[in-house]
A and B are shown apart, each in its own frame.
Chain A
Amino acid sequence: MKKQIQKRIIKDKLFKIVIILLSFLSTFPLFFILFYLIKNGVFSLNFEFLINLPKPVGEKGGGIANAIVGTFILIIISSFLSIPIGICVGIYLSENKDKNLSKVINYFVDILQGIPSIVLGIIAYLWIVRPMRHFSALSGGVALAIMMLPVIIKSTEETLNLIPQSLKEAAFSLGAPYYKTILSIVLPAGISGITTGILISISRIAGETAPLLFTAFGNPYMNLNIFKPIESLPHLIYNYAKSPYPEWHQKAWAASFILILIVFTLNFISKLVVKRWKVRF
C-alpha cells in the first residue's frame, strides 16, 4: 500500500515539473526575439532615426519617420472603418442570439477570420486600387479594417454576453427605450472588454505587411494624404531586410524594435484599461 502511494506522489511531482518546464519553454521564442532585437537594433536608435525620412543607399543617416507616421495613419483609417461596424454587429449578435441571421453572421465572421491576409489585400486592390487607378493609404486601411472586424465583433459579442440580463431589465423597468438601454447602460458596462478587443486587433494589424503590398504600396516620402500611397513600418522592415545593404539591415532591426515597442505599449495600455475600467456586477 505504501509503495502505491509513493508511486503516486512521484507521478504527481513529475507532472508538475513537466508543466512548469513546458511553460518556460514557451516563453523562449519571445526572449530570443527580444534579445536579438535589442542586440541588433537598439544601437541604431537615435532621435534623428525617428524624425528623418529615409535616405537613398550610400548616404549617411536617414530615418523611418514616414513609416511611423504611415503606420499610425493606417491604424486610424482601419479603426475608423472597423470599430463602428464591429461594435454594432457585436451588439446585434449579442442581443439576437437565436435569430437565424445571427447564426449566418457568426458563420461568416468565422470564415472571415480564417482568410489569409494577402487575400484581403487582393480584395482591397480590386475594390479600391483598381477603380482609383492608384495605390492609396485608404485601400490599405480597408484591407486592415477587414482583418480587424472579426476580432472586434467577437470580443464585443462575448463581452456583452457577460452582462447580466437583470441590468437591461432594470433599465427597462425604469421606462427606458431600447436604444437608450444599450447606449447608456449596456455598452458602458462592457467598455473594458470592447476596448480590449479593439486594442488587440490593432496590435495585430500594426505588424501586417502582406495586405499592404498591393494597397498602401509604400512611399519613400512623408505622406499625409490618404488617397496616395503610404509607407508603413512592417513594409519598410520587409524592404530593408531583403535588400543587400548591411546599413539597411541595421535599420530594419531598429525599425522592428520600434514596431515591437508599439505593440507592447498597446498591450500594456489594454491591461491598464481592463484594470481601471473593469466593471463589477
Chain B
Amino acid sequence: MIEGKLKELQDKIIEMAFLVQSMIEKSIKGLMEKDKNLLLEVIEKEEKKVNDMEIEIDDMVTKFIALYHPEATYLRTSLMILKINNDLERMGDEAVNISESALFLIERPPVKPLIDIPRMAEITIQMLKDSITSFIEGKPELAKEVCIRDDIVDSLRDQIHRELLTYMMQDPSTIERAFHLIRIARSLERIADLSTNLCEDVIFIVKGKVIKHHKEDI
C-alpha cells in the first residue's frame, strides 16, 4: 500500500525533473542555434506545465503524509520530495529567464563568440542529470561528487563576468547585450546551486545525514 503510493510520488517528481532538464537544454539550444520557436515553447508552454506539476506534487505529498503516516526512510523521502519539488520549480523559472534573455540576444549581433556559456551550460546540465540519477538510484556517492563540481561552475561564472566587464568598458554599445549574457550565466550558476541542493536532499534520504552548509565534511 504505502510503497505503492510512495513510488507514485517518486515517479511524479522524476517526471518533473526530466521536464525541467529539457527546458534548460532547449533554452541553451535555442540560444546557440538562434531557434526562436524553441525558446517560445519554453516560455509559453513548458513553464505552465512545471508550475502545475509543482502544485500537484505538493498536494500529493500532503495527502501521502496525512493518510499514510510514513516513518524513517519513507518520511525522509516524502519530505525531501517536497523540497526537491520547490527547487525544480525554481530551476524552471531560471530556464525561463535564460530563454527570455536568449530571445533578446538572437535578434542582435553577438558581442563575442559564445564559448564559456555553452561550456558552463554543459557542466550545469550534466550536474542536473547526475543529481536526478543519484535520486533514482539512491546513490549518495554520486550526489557527493556532483556537489564538488559546483565550484567549477562558480569560477566559470566569475570568468564570464570579468570578460564581459572588459568588453563593456571598451564599448558601451555592448552593455545591453552583455547584461543579458551575464543574466544567462547567473541563471546557469543558480541552476547548478539548486542541483547541489537536490544532491544534499538525496544524501539525507539515503543516509539520514545533513550535509548542508559544511561541504568540507563531504
Q: CB atoms of A and B under 8 A apart anywhere in the complex?
A: no
